[in-house]
């Protein structure tokens, strides 16, 4: 099915659950009231990864972007039957199950198939849709390839770690299987003849073929068990009452064949309106949102990171009693730890790990994580800057009766700041680019937005080119501004 439990996610889950073994146990023990809880709050929060038409994707409706697709229709049906309002929250597929476990969302519907591995961590409803696999090829090759067995000596692409990927490896011989993380990248590789076919689910294949005249779909003839091709809604482990209620809706959907009769045709209509105008200009609002969030994250993180950096650098230079030594050790340990772990892991840890204690929105979590990260680096710059200021400056200020604090604030720090301004500028520009990491927790910054535009328009390169230019404009403007202030500070 769609995507997979990556080893990384599994590790993350283990870590998160391990850290909070107690919290999780109490949560699952008390989750018999899961249905009552949702009904009491009046909303059902659905997590989904909207880059997988026609299951779920973003469409522009009356000038506004919203998440649509057959999974959203399923979610709406469940919410309606429960008598609550559906709230759709988008995030990367990898983060969905963790979000469910940590209570960020109540339910996950994202073309997810109920594999035994997933069943260990979450509860699934009955299957609401039974799909199958197709292979998408270039229309010009239509006579050459018939099914999975026609690709001897050729290459088939599939999403890395997905069931399609595993089955393609297992059920073909003499065929190279190439894995990529996103379907739009695979289609791009197909069109540039790097691969000869892409294995994907039937509805997706149909959507791609319908929207791209260069492509054609052929049956895969993979030998598959039902659970490999089915899609279910996932709920937190132990929320029996909620799953039971949702199953009523799912059973109705199956009985009345609502997916094929209503949901898929409706999704197809959105797909059409979506692809009427695939020019990048049409999506300027999506990119603007991306720029907005990228800037919010960067500016906030530099601001808080700077304050944290000043405090950390002062703590690292503290000398004296037991308390000051402890402070110095703590600050040093913090800086070393942050610099020695990937920012991506830190972002996920803040969002999911801290999320067990306080429920922070993704944007706030992103800003916190990047501030914490940036603070460690800025602390080192500031420490270097302070050391670069001549001791005579401190002595002069102290001889005038200024306290060590006032000396630091009025005499040393301003000069240190001037000395490290170019490094701070670099940090700022790096952050503009690195803020893209928060896309994994679903903050709609530039990378996240571009991925959505890519899957909406079936255009692989144009959105990348657009954000490349946008990033450059942002960083270039920032570096000009920083240079201007650097010149203003030059007195010697």
Partner 1 sequence: MTKPIIEVKNLAKHFGDNQVLKDITEQVNPGQVIVVIGPSGGGKSTFLRCLNLLEHPSSGEVDFAGEDLTTLDDKRVNELREQMGMVFQGFNLFPNMTVLENIKLAPMKVKHVDDATATKQAHELLKQVNLDDHADAFPTSLSGGQAQRVAIARALAMDPKVMLFDEPTSALDPEMVGEVLNVMQELAKQGMTMVVVTHEMGFAKSVADRVWFMADGYIQENNTPDEFFSNPQTDRAKDFLSKILM
Residues that bind partner 1 (CB under 8 A): 390, 392-393, 395-404, 406, 410-411, 414-415, 418, 489, 491-492
Q: How far is the CB of 316 from partner 1 (least distance, A)?
A: 21
- State which residue, 267 or 314, has the beta carbon closest to partner 1: 314
Count CB-CB contacts under 10 A for residue 462.
15
- State which residue, 284 or 410, has the beta carbon closest to partner 1: 410
**Residue 211 and residue 205: Cα distance in Å, rounded?**
10
Q: How far is the CB of 401 from partner 1 (least distance, A)?
A: 3
- State which residue, 336 or 395, has the beta carbon closest to partner 1: 395
- State which residue, 28 or 415, has the beta carbon closest to partner 1: 415
- State which residue, 265 or 414, has the beta carbon closest to partner 1: 414
Q: CA angle at residue 181 from 176 to 182, to 5 degrees?
A: 105
Q: How far is the CB of 395 from partner 1 (least distance, A)?
A: 5
- State which residue, 153 or 405, has the beta carbon closest to partner 1: 405
- State which residue, 237 or 398, has the beta carbon closest to partner 1: 398
Q: How far is the CB of 425 from partner 1 (least distance, A)?
A: 18
In order of 50, 200, 256, the CA distances from 261 in angstroms are 22, 22, 8
Sheet strand arrangement including 230-236: 85-90, 43-48, 107-108, 230-236, 122-130
In order of 45, 100, 479, 487, the CA distances from 243 in angstroms are 14, 14, 53, 64
- State which residue, 63 or 392, has the beta carbon closest to partner 1: 392
Contact at 8 Å (CB) between 267 and 69? yes
Q: How far is the CB of 396 from partner 1 (least distance, A)?
A: 4
Q: How far is the CB of 381 from partner 1 (least distance, A)?
A: 18
Q: Which residue has the tokens 């600050």?
A: 331
How is residue 108 written in tokens?
């996950």
- State which residue, 36 or 396, has the beta carbon closest to partner 1: 396
- State which residue, 18 or 401, has the beta carbon closest to partner 1: 401
- State which residue, 43 or 404, has the beta carbon closest to partner 1: 404
- State which residue, 328 or 398, has the beta carbon closest to partner 1: 398
Residue 283: burial class (beta carbons within 10 Å; 0-12, 13-18, 19+): buried
Interaxial angle between packed helices 446-457 and 183-191, expressed in degrees from 0 to 180 and rounded to the nearest 10:
60
Q: How far is the CB of 386 from partner 1 (least distance, A)?
A: 14
C-beta pairs of 421-425 under 8 Å, 24+ apart in sequence = 421/482, 421/485, 421/486, 421/489, 422/482, 422/486, 423/381, 423/384, 423/385, 424/306, 424/378, 424/381, 425/478, 425/479, 425/482, 425/483, 425/486
Q: How far is the CB of 491 from partner 1 (least distance, A)?
A: 4
Q: How far is the CB of 270 from partner 1 (least distance, A)?
A: 59
Count CB-CB contacts under 10 A for residue 40.
9
Q: How far is the CB of 399 from partner 1 (least distance, A)?
A: 4
- State which residue, 304 or 421, has the beta carbon closest to partner 1: 421
Q: How far is the CB of 387 from partner 1 (least distance, A)?
A: 17
Q: How far is the CB of 483 from partner 1 (least distance, A)?
A: 18
Q: How far is the CB of 349 from partner 1 (least distance, A)?
A: 40
């Amino acid at each position: 099915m769609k995507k997979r439990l990556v080893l990384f996610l599994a590790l993350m889950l283990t870590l998160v659950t391990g850290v909070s073994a107690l919290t999780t146990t109490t949560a699952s023990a008390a989750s018999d009231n899961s249905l009552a809880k949702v009904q009491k709050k009046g909303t059902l929060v659905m997590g989904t990864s909207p880059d997988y038409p026609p299951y779920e994707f973003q469409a522009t409706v009356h000038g506004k972007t919203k998440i649509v697709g057959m999974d959203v229709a399923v979610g709406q049906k469940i919410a309606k039957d429960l008598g609550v309002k559906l709230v759709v929250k988008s995030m990367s597929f990898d983060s969905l199950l963790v979000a469910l476990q940590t209570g960020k969302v109540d339910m996950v519907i994202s073309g997810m198939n109920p594999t035994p591995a997933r069943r260990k961590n979450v509860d699934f409803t009955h299957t609401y849709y039974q799909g199958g696999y197709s292979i998408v090829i270039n229309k010009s090759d239509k006579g050459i390839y018939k099914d999975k067995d026609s690709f001897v000596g050729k290459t088939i692409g599939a999403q890395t770690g997905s069931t399609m990927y595993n089955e393609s490896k297992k059920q073909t011989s003499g065929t190279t299987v190439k894995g990529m993380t996103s379907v739009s990248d695979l289609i791009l590789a197909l069109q540039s003849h790097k691969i000869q076919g892409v294995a994907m689910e039937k509805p997706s294949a149909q959507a791609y073929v319908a929207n791209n005249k260069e492509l054609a779909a052929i049956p895969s003839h993979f030998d598959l068990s039902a659970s490999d091709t089915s899609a279910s809604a996932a709920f937190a482990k132990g929320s029996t009452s909620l799953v039971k209620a949702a199953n009523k809706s799912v059973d109705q959907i199956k009985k009345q064949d609502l997916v094929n009769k209503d949901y898929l045709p409706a999704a197809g209509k959105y797909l059409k309106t979506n692809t009427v105008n695939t020019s990048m200009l049409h999506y300027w609002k999506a990119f603007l949102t991306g720029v907005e969030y990228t800037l919010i994250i960067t500016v906030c993180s530099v601001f808080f990171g700077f304050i944290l950096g000043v405090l950390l650098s002062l703590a690292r230079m503290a000398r004296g009693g037991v308390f000051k030594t402890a402070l110095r050790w703590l600050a040093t340990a913090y800086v070393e730890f942050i610099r020695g772990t990937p920012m991506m892991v830190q972002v996920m840890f803040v969002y999911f790990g801290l999320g067990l204690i306080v429920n922070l929105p993704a944007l706030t979590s992103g800003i916190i994580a990047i501030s914490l990260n940036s603070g460690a680096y800025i602390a080192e710059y500031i420490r270097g800057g302070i050391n670069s200021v001549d001791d005579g400056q401190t002595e002069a200020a102290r001889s005038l009766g200024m306290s060590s604090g006032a000396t630091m604030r009025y005499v040393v720090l301003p000069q240190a700041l001037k000395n490290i301004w170019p490094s701070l500028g670099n940090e700022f520009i790096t952050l503009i680019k690195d803020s893209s990491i928060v896309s994994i927790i679903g903050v709609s910054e530039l990378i996240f937005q571009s991925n959505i535009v890519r899957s909406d328009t079936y255009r692989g390169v144009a959105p990348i080119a657009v954000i490349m230019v946008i990033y450059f404009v942002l960083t270039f403007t920032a570096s000009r501004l920083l240079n201007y202030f650097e010149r203003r500070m030059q007195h010697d």
